[in-house]
Structure 1
Amino acid sequence: MSVAKQLWVSAVALIITVVFFGVSGTDIWVQNHFYNPITHQWLLDHDEPVLKFIFYDGIKRLIIIVDVVILITLIVGWKKPFLALYRKGIVIVLLSGIFVPVVVGSFKALTNLPCPKNLEIYGGNYPHTCVWEKYPKSFCQQGKIKCWPAGHASGGFALLSLIYLFRTRKAKIIAGISAMVIGWSMGSYKMLIGDHFLSHTFITMVMAWFIISLIVYLIERAQKRRKQLKMV
């Protein structure tokens, strides 16, 4: 599938995803499996140190280290012949590692939607609403809340850009599967501690797909223009 088609498909998929989870009860149905209404506890403890290190602090630091290594490689080896074939892919991975989390984080600041643990049905004080709905007038919100879409998993799904770094089909498949496993591991952990719904992570995945496709599209378009100018 061409990058232009991926842009359209991912944009449509994003709209369908938002509408589907907004009108269906899928989020609540799934999340109910992770919450014990008798003990008022989630399936995993938010403060359990080992799991928190593996699926939150540790993996986040690892992704940051990978991004820094890629940046250093790009700077040091920009003019190196052996990096010529991978230069475009490295730029795509680096830009994706920056813009996917930034865009997702910006949406979190705007949507003002609560996490599962904040909802009344799970011991919180927030009513359940869709992204396009306002809170009831009877609800008094003390300050903005940031939980939709899933910010933590955005770093993992940004690694889908690794598909554009590798050249063989096998390597691309391995990179894509690995990125999905990392992204969903990060997102699932947050679901199991009550920090996110299924839709939060799913939407972040689709957003990452769209943003990465847009980055690739713009880079390829810039390359074509540069070639056209050289021919003039």
Structure 2
Amino acid sequence: MRSEPLRFFAWNLGLPLAIALAIFAVFDLTSLDEIISNWLYYPNHEFPFGHNRLFENLTHRWPRIIPDLTGEAAIIGSILSFIWPLMKPGKHDRLLRLLEALRIAPLLRFTARYRRDFLFIVVSFAVITGMIHFFKSHTSIYCPVETTLYGGTMEKKEWFENFSLFHEAGPGRCWPGGHASGGFTMVALYFVARRHQWRHARAILYASTLLGAIYGTTRVLQGWHFMSHTFWAGVIVWISALLTALAFYGWRRLASPAVQAPGSAPPAPEQALSGLG
């Protein structure tokens, strides 16, 4: 039994911290970021797709719809989850029949049943966004195209050279990768899947990781991020989502999530009053 929490935290916290250390050693303490960006920049003294509007729309603006719609759906689900427990048999029978006739009742029962999960996604997205903005403002790192290395006017620095814990470090806002973090935020769905032991939980994890990596890499191609910015965004997002999931579910539910019996009936209004179960 003692090995169970150790195994859980080793994989979910220890491994990301080890990856962070590797990123620090491989990228931040070397010139690998510059080597990669130089390879992209020097052929024509500009970054590929840097001024391509179609590429910008396809890889930066339009893809935002995925995390944006997910967050909005979670907010709507959270709000709706409070409605069904208010429906009292005998007191709201007419309204209950109307909701059933309009096929709204199943949706309300669903949101009430999974209220904790909807709230987790909302809070997780907020925590992740807050942490990314905190590190952006408290490191004040400039993007490659803003530095003197690639035609800009600002000096290139590493995040740890400029980090300030208690106040903003300056106007730079490039570290970690914000666009990459938008894709990585979808890992919040993985923790929901882990809680309910959904069969495709790992597929959600891999898809979220791939999404964040694609988001970040396209910005590297445009000269708006160094490669390490994407990796750092992934680590920060994962730890933020993990800590939020631990606060909502506890490590036991994430390590050994309860399995819901197949075919179980949705809760009645009076049963849903617990809401957060």
User: 2:41 & 2:248 partners in 1: Cα distance?
Assistant: 45
Matched to 2:179, the amino acid is: H
Cα gap change, 1:123 to 1:66, in 2 (>3 Å): same
Structure 1 residue 67 and structure 2 residue 67: aligned?
no
**The 10-residue stretch of structure 1 (62-71 or 12-21) with the greater mean CA deviation from structure 2:** 12-21
Partner of 1:155: 182
Counterpart of 2:131 (choices 84, 103, 106) is 103
Does the CA-based 8 Å contact 2:77-2:111 persist in structure 1?
no
In 1, Cα distance between the equivalents of 2:48 and 2:190?
A: 34
Q: Does 1:18 align with 2:24?
A: yes
> Amino acid of the residue matched to residue 41 of structure 1?
E
Q: Over the residues paired in the alignment, what is the CA RMSD in angstroms?
A: 2.6
State the one-letter code of the partner of 1:122: Y
- Please name the residue that 2:207 is paired with: 178
Residue 261 of structure 2 aligns with which residue?
Answer: none
Q: Report deviation, 1:14.
A: 2.7
Match of 1:125 in 2: 153
Cα pair 1:92 1:212 within 8 Å, conserved: no
For normalisation by structure 2, the TM-score amounts to 0.68
**Equivalent in the alignment of 1:41:** 46
Alpha-carbon distance in structure 1 between the residues aligned to 2:228 and 2:113:
37
**Equivalent residues of 2:80, 2:112 under 8 A apart:** no
Q: Within 2, Cα distance between the matches of 1:19 and 1:59?
A: 31
What letter matches 2:177 in structure 1?
A
So what's the TM-score if we normalise by structure 1? 0.80
Give the conservation status (yes or no) of the 8 Å contact 1:3–1:213.
no
Aligned counterpart, 1:215: 244
The 1:90–1:3 alpha-carbon spacing in structure 2 relative to 1, beyond 3 Å, is: farther
C-alpha distance in structure 2 between counterparts of 1:190 and 1:14, whole Å: 21
Residue 53 of structure 1 pairs with residue 80 of structure 2:
no
| Post-superposition offset of 1:131 | 2.1
Q: Say if 2:140 and 2:172, in contact at 8 Å, map to a contact too.
A: yes
Unaligned runs of 5+ in 1: 135-142, 225-232
CA distance change for structure 1 residues 90 and 23 in 2, over 3 Å: closer, same or farther?
Answer: same
Give 5+ residue unaligned stretches, structure 2: 1-6, 86-107, 163-169, 254-277
Identity of aligned residues (%): 23
The offset of 1:101, in angstroms, is 1.9
Q: Offset of 1:201 from its aligned partner? A: 0.6
Larger CA Rg, structure 1 vs 2: 2
Q: How many residues end up aligned between the 2 structures?
A: 214
Deviation at 1:104, TM superposition (A): 0.6
Query: Which runs of 4 or more aligned residues in structure 1 lie more than 4 Å from their structure 2 counterparts after TM superposition?
Result: 78-81, 221-224
